[in-house]
Chain A
Amino acid sequence: MASVSVKNLDLSFGSVKVLQNLNLEIEKGEFLVLLGSSGCGKSTLLNCIAGLLDVTGGQIFINEKNVTWNEPKDRDIGMVFQSYALYPQMTVEGNLSFGLKNARMPRGEIAQRIQRAAKILHIEPLLKRKPAQLSGGQRQRVAIGRALVRDVDVFLFDEPLSNLDAKLRAELRVEIKRLHQTLQDNTMIYVTHDQIEAMTLADRIAIMRGGAIQQLADPHTIYNKPVNKYVAGFIGSPGINFLDGNAIEGATPSFDAQGIVIPMDRYAFAQTPQPKPAVFGIRPEHVLHGDAAVGQAFSQQVAVDVIEPMGSDTLIWSKLGPQDFRFRVDGQADLSVGDQVLIGFDPANASAFDAQSELRL
Chain B
Amino acid sequence: MVEAVAGPAGPRPVRALSRRNIILYGTLIVIAIYYILPLYVMVVTSLKGMPEIRLGNIFSPPVEVTFQPWVKAWAQACTGLNCDGLSRGFWNSVVITVPSVVLSIVIASVNGYALANWRFRGANIFFTILIFGAFIPYQVMIYPLVIILREIGLYGKLPGLVLVHTIFGMPILTLLFRNYFTSIPEELFKAARVDGAGFWGIYFKIMLPMSLPIFVVAMILQITGIWNDFLFGVIYTKPEAYPMTVQLNNIVKSVQGVQEYNVNMAATILTGLVPLIVYFVSGKLFVRGIAAGAVKG
A residues near B (Cβ < 8 Å) are: 47, 50-52, 71-73, 77-79, 81-83, 85-89, 98-99, 102-103, 143, 146, 150, 158
| B31 CB to nearest chain A CB (Å) | 39
Asked whether B195 is an interface residue with its Cβ less than 8 Å from the other chain, the reply is yes
From B191, B193, B197, residue with most partner A Cβ within 10 Å: B191
Tally inter-chain residue pairs, CB-CB below 8 A: 59
Check A52 against B197 for contact (C-beta < 8 Å). Answer: no
C-alpha gap A86/B187 in the complex (Å): 9
Check B197 against A98 for contact (C-beta < 8 Å). Answer: yes
Asked whether B284 is an interface residue with its Cβ less than 8 Å from the other chain, the reply is no
Given A52-B190, A85-B187, residue A103 in contact with residue B210 (CB < 8 A): no
Check B190 against A85 for contact (C-beta < 8 Å). Answer: yes
Check B190 against A79 for contact (C-beta < 8 Å). Answer: yes
Check A81 against B187 for contact (C-beta < 8 Å). Answer: yes
- B interface SS class: helix
C-alpha gap A103/B195 in the complex (Å): 8
The one of B191, B193, B201, B206 that contacts A146, using a Cβ cutoff of 8 Å: B191
C-alpha gap A161/B185 in the complex (Å): 17
- A–B complex contacts, Cβ < 8 Å, 28 sampled: A52-B190, A52-B193, A71-B193, A71-B196, A72-B194, A72-B196, A81-B190, A81-B191, A82-B187, A83-B185, A83-B187, A85-B185, A85-B188, A85-B191, A86-B191, A87-B188, A87-B192, A87-B206, A88-B210, A89-B209, A89-B210, A98-B195, A98-B197, A98-B205, A99-B194, A102-B196, A103-B196, A158-B187
B residues near A (Cβ < 8 Å) are: 185, 187-188, 190-197, 201, 205-206, 209-210
A87 partner residues in chain B, CB cutoff 8 A? 188, 191-192, 205-206
C-alpha gap A77/B197 in the complex (Å): 14
Check A99 against B188 for contact (C-beta < 8 Å). Answer: no
C-alpha gap A203/B193 in the complex (Å): 29
The one of B194, B201, B209 that contacts A77, using a Cβ cutoff of 8 Å: B194
| A185 CB to nearest chain B CB (Å) | 20
C-alpha gap A158/B191 in the complex (Å): 11
Excluding A72-B193, A85-B187, A87-B206, 10 further A-B contacts by CB distance (< 8 Å) are A50-B194, A52-B193, A72-B190, A83-B185, A87-B192, A89-B209, A98-B195, A99-B196, A146-B191, A146-B195
C-alpha gap A77/B192 in the complex (Å): 13
| A46 CB to nearest chain B CB (Å) | 11
Which residue on chain A has the smallest CB distance to residue B209? A89
From A47, A99, A103, residue with most partner B Cβ within 10 Å: A99
Check B187 against A73 for contact (C-beta < 8 Å). Answer: no
A73 partner residues in chain B, CB cutoff 8 A? 193-196
A78 partner residues in chain B, CB cutoff 8 A? 194
Which residue on chain B has the smallest CB distance to residue A156? B194
| A231 CB to nearest chain B CB (Å) | 29
From B187, B193, B194, B206, residue with most partner A Cβ within 10 Å: B194
B210 partner residues in chain A, CB cutoff 8 A? 88-89
A88 partner residues in chain B, CB cutoff 8 A? 210
B197 partner residues in chain A, CB cutoff 8 A? 98, 102
B193 partner residues in chain A, CB cutoff 8 A? 51-52, 71-73
A86 partner residues in chain B, CB cutoff 8 A? 191
